[in-house]
Chains A and B, each alone.
Chain A
Amino acid sequence: MAQVSIRKVVKAYEGNVQAVKGIDLEIADEEFVVLVGPSGCGKSTTLRMIAGLEEITSGDIAIGGEVVNDVPPRDRDIAMVFQNYALYPHMSVFDNMAFGLKLRKFPKEEIKKRVDDAAKMLDIAMLLDRKPKALSGGQRQRVAMGRAIVRNPKVFLFDEPLSNLDAKLRVQMRTEIKKVHQLVPTTTVYVTHDQIEAMTLADRVVVMNHGIIEQVGAPQELYHNPATRFVAGFIGSPAMNFLTVKLVSDNGLYVELADGTRLAVNPARIDRYKPHAGKTMTLGLRPEHLTETHTNEKPGTAYLDATVDVTEPMGMETMVHFFIKGEPVCARVDPLTVAIPGQILRLAADMSNMHLIDNDTNKVV
């Protein structure tokens, strides 16, 4: 059993600059948790504090129920995979993977068995005699993972492990990591700034910003029910559209865009939004919820006319960019839709998937 508990953890550097501002997080045994956020949000610092590579200014970190604040990294029973692989350049792949076991004085046969098993699982069995410099980026990352796996630790820590790989390899290795977690279910904390990586890998995603946790939840929950403007904008690609609107109560409830267009609020949400009537707020609408019109729209659809600025045909869909009173908007339409720059295109907004953000608190209401 290796649950990880982070309780009121603060990391402050000299000059009282706080990188992590008192976060709380409970990670269950065998859970795959991804910490995601922009540069400087404190995600890597949090991971390094779990690893014991950074001291904690205040608060507690417990692994398997035991507080490890003052336990050195080697006694925490963790393994870490680094962004730049951190392979020992003078050692063969075998020795790299066996290093930790040798230091822990495992018998030779046991070391060989564990290394061979991990190498087979990661498809690097034929590379065991090579030095790291003779490997490709993807192979090096596999070795780094192998070095972690052979130790059979309580917790795996990944610090942006795919950032140094090219796009194609990144997708491939992402699947490999997921597969490894299925084969060796171990509590895993994974740091990335790539929200797609976070969504595809995680059991739960932790979105961090400016040293605090904005929201914790399953990938789908974060996507469909973001708690804050930051999460709404960070999760999803292309990013959610944000439009300044006025909530108008006039024979029904409407959001009034800056150009005067009124979009009717889905009746199911009227009670939820009504207390904010009259306020200037931000409407959040994902590009896929702003599409070409259909003959039989589902209930809760509203329409607006867009003067097309730029189109981006992606093959299976086309992104249409336009402005509403200076605010950029992106719609995701069928590739067969005729969208010509400069011409007007009628779009359907799926208001049952809208988000309304309070401009004072930046929270989704």
Chain B
Amino acid sequence: MSATIARPGSLHRQRQWTLWGSYTALSFFVVVFLVPPFYMLMTSLKSSAEISAEAGNPWYPHSPTLANYMTLLGSDSFMRYFFNSVWVTAVVVVVSMVISILSAFALSRMGFKGAQVLSTGVFLTYLIPPSLLFIPLFQIVGWLGLINSTWVLVLLFPTLAVPFATWIMIGYFSSIPKELDEAALIDGASYMQILVQIFIPVALPGIIAATIFAFTISWGAFLYPLAYLYSADQVTLTVGIVRDLIRGDVFAWGMIMAACVIGAAPPIIIYTFLMDYYVAGLTAGSTKG
């Protein structure tokens, strides 16, 4: 009795310490992760003269200018890289999602023999680092005659996106009660109708999470485009920036940073609007019965 009276509010104090710890750790991460993009944005608004002057406070532009952006947006090659990235990513996302939704549905619901082994196998492929694969893949891609064609990315990126996207979708589909598809079966739906009319609408947060993942894989990729593409009309944005804006040891820092801001804009916009769905999708199955 006396022990409980002697420590009033200890739980409250413990919670406060935990919160302090969390905020300190999170603040550290926020600073570490947000300083580079902030510096990127600030540098993109500086003229080359100001960047090379190395005078004054480097954390904000003294005479802000959009010249770097205007030059890039007026450059045919930069716009070509940008649109190459857009079309490759669009096709990769669509192809990856179609494959992963269909395979996740089959693996989680069709109940065929070996489904469990197959789903583990699909996930295991995700654990192989892409950087290990690009040399053997070079041989295959060369054999297929796809070197220096954006189609190579359309072929290869889904192999990276599908396993993880399928894994997310399997988790999400498994959280949908079995009775829902049984009710639909009795109502007269085919498996395809169950997928399209019941599972896809119900699993939308999971599908959005998987879509964002596939988008990120394709949009941010550097190694494969660098390895397989070389001509100006095929290169994607990530490689294009390095190719055009770094000449020997001359770095056009202002334009490099402006190009990075333009390149980072689509994922930032997409993440901002779909963040809630993304988190809900990734955590599905852990809380739903």
A positions within 8 Å CB-CB of B: 51-53, 72-74, 78-80, 82-84, 86-90, 99-100, 103-104, 147, 151
Contact = CB atoms under 8 A, between A and B. Distances in A.
Given A74-B187, A74-B188, A147-B187, A82 B198 contact: no
Contacts, number: 56
Contact of B183 (A72, A82, A90, A104): A82
A84 B189 CA distance: 20
Interface string B179-212: 1101111111100010001100110000000000
Contact of B185 (A74, A84, A88): A74
B194 to A, nearest CB: 10
B177 A86 contact: yes
Contacts of B188: 74, 100, 103-104
Contacts of B183: 80, 82, 86-88, 147
Given A88-B180, A100-B188, 20 more contacts: A51-B182, A53-B186, A72-B185, A73-B182, A73-B186, A80-B182, A80-B183, A84-B179, A86-B179, A86-B183, A87-B183, A88-B184, A88-B198, A88-B202, A99-B184, A99-B189, A103-B187, A103-B188, A103-B193, A147-B187
Interface residues of B, number: 16
Nearest to B185: A73
Of listed B187, B189, B193, B197, residue having the most chain A CB within 10 A: B187
A147 B186 CA distance: 11
Given A99-B187, A100-B188, A104-B188, A86 B193 contact: no
B182 A86 contact: yes
Interface of B: 177, 179-180, 182-189, 193, 197-198, 201-202
A86 B202 contact: no
A72 B187 CA distance: 11
Given A82-B179, A103-B189, A103-B193, A89 B202 contact: yes
Nearest to B190: A74
A53 B202 contact: no
B177 A84 contact: yes
B193 to A, nearest CB: 7
Nearest to B200: A90
Nearest to B204: A90
Contacts of B179: 82-84, 86
Nearest to A100: B187
Nearest to A83: B179
6 contacts: A74-B189, A86-B180, A88-B183, A88-B202, A99-B187, A103-B193
Contacts of B186: 51-53, 73-74, 78-80, 100
Nearest to B203: A90
A51 B187 CA distance: 11
A287 to B, nearest CB: 38
A56 B183 CA distance: 19
A83 B182 CA distance: 12
